[in-house]
C-alpha cells in the first residue's frame, strides 16, 4: 500500500473494508430501524441524536448530518476501536460527530452492545439545569442505581464530553449530558432504545411531581433491592415488556 493510500485508510477506516456480511447487513438495518423508532417515540428529531452497535473489533454508527427519515443501511459507518480520538473528519462516510463517546463506551464496557443518544425534551430540560434524576420512582433502578447522573457540560463531539460521560456512566447504563441530552446503553439495540425511552418517561414524571414540591425519593436500600430484581428479568423482545 502506498503512503498516500495508507494515509487515506487511516483517515477513513471504512474505506478498506469488504462488502458487508449478512450479519453486518442485518445489524445495519436494525440501527436504521432504531433511529426510526426514536422519532416515532418522540425522543429524537431531525439530525439530532445517534445510534451505535458493537460489531467485530469496532462499531457501526449512524452518519453525521443525515435525518432518520432519510437514513439508509448503506450510510451506517463502521469504525475500528483503535481509531484515534484526534482523527480528522473522514472525507467520506462521516460518522456522527459524537463517535468518540460511542467508541469509548463500547471499548470500556464489554457487556454493552449498543448505545443510543437522544435529545428527548423532558430529560434534556433537567439536564439544562445540570441535575440528576433521583429515585422518585423505582424504575430509576433500570439504569443501575439510585439516580441517573448528569455529566458536566462539554462541547458536542469533544473528547472531554466522552470523558465526562464515561464518569457519569460508572455502574450505570444511562446518564444525562448537561445542556445536551441523554445516553442510554444496552446489551443490544432493543434494550438501549427501551432504556432511552424509559429515561424520558422518568424525566416527565419527575417534572410533574416537582410541581407539587420536592419529590420524595426511595431509600438506597429499596433501590438496591430493585436493582437486584432487575438482574433476573427485564425487557423481552417477544412481549416488549420491562418485566413488571
- List pLDDT tens digits, range 112-138: 999 999 999 999 999 999 999 999 999
Does residue 235 fall inside a structural domain? no
pLDDT average, residue stretch 196-202: 98
- Cα gap 19→172, rounded to integer Å: 36
Number of domains in the chain: 1
Q: What is the pLDDT of residue 37?
A: 97
Instruction: Work out the percent of the chain whose per-residue pLDDT is above 70.
Output: 84
Pair 185, 114: CB distance under 8 Å: yes
Does the reported pTM lie above 0.85? yes
- Out of 8-17, 64-73, 116-125, 234-243, the most confident range is 116-125
Note whether residue 242 is domain-resident: no
Mean pLDDT for the chain?
88
Indicate whether 239 belongs to any domain: no
Confirm whether 175 is domain-assigned: yes
Least confident of 80-84, 89-93, 156-160, 168-172: 89-93
Look at residue 241 and tell me whether its pLDDT is greater than 70. Answer: no
pLDDT exceeds 60 at position 2 = no
Nearest to 217 by CA among 99, 103, 137, 100: 137
Looking up residue 200, the CATH number of its domain turns out to be 3.40.225.10
Query: Which of the following is catalytic: 98, 111, 200, 225?
Result: 98
Range of the domain at 190: 3-230
User: What does the pLDDT read at residue 231?
Assistant: 80
Give the tens place of pLDDT for each residue, 26-79. 999 999 999 999 999 999 988 899 999 999 999 999 999 999 999 999 999 999
Helix (H) or strand (E) holding 117, with range, is strand 114-118
CA separation for the pair 61, 6 (Å, rounded): 23
Catalytic site includes residue 98: yes
Amino acid at each position: 500500500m502506498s503512503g498516500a493510500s495508507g494515509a487515506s485508510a487511516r483517515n477513513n477506516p471504512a474505506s478498506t473494508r469488504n462488502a458487508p456480511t449478512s450479519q453486518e447487513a442485518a445489524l445495519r438495518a436494525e440501527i436504521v430501524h432504531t433511529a426510526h423508532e426514536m422519532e416515532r417515540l418522540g425522543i429524537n428529531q431531525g439530525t439530532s441524536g445517534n445510534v451505535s452497535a458493537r460489531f467485530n473489533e469496532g462499531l457501526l454508527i449512524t452518519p453525521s448530518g443525515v435525518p432518520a427519515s432519510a437514513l439508509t443501511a448503506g450510510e451506517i459507518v463502521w469504525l475500528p476501536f483503535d481509531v484515534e480520538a484526534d482523527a480528522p473528519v473522514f472525507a467520506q462516510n462521516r460518522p456522527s460527530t459524537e463517535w468518540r463517546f460511542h467508541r469509548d463506551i463500547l471499548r470500556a464496557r464489554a457487556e454493552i452492545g449498543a448505545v443510543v443518544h437522544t435529545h428527548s425534551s423532558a430529560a434534556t430540560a433537567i439536564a439544562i439545569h445540570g441535575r440528576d434524576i433521583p429515585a422518585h420512582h423505582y424504575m430509576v433502578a433500570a439504569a443501575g442505581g439510585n439516580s441517573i447522573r448528569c455529566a458536566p457540560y462539554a462541547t458536542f463531539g469533544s473528547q472531554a464530553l466522552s470523558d465526562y460521560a464515561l464518569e457519569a456512566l460508572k455502574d450505570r447504563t444511562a446518564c444525562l449530558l448537561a445542556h445536551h441530552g441523554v445516553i442510554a446503553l444496552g446489551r443490544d439495540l432493543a434494550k438501549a432504545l427501551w432504556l432511552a425511552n424509559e429515561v424520558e418517561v422518568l424525566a416527565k414524571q419527575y417534572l410533574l411531581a416537582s410541581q407539587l414540591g420536592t419529590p420524595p425519593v426511595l431509600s438506597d436500600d429499596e433501590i438496591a433491592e430493585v436493582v437486584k430484581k432487575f438482574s433476573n428479568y427485564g425487557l423481552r423482545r417477544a412481549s416488549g415488556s420491562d418485566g413488571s
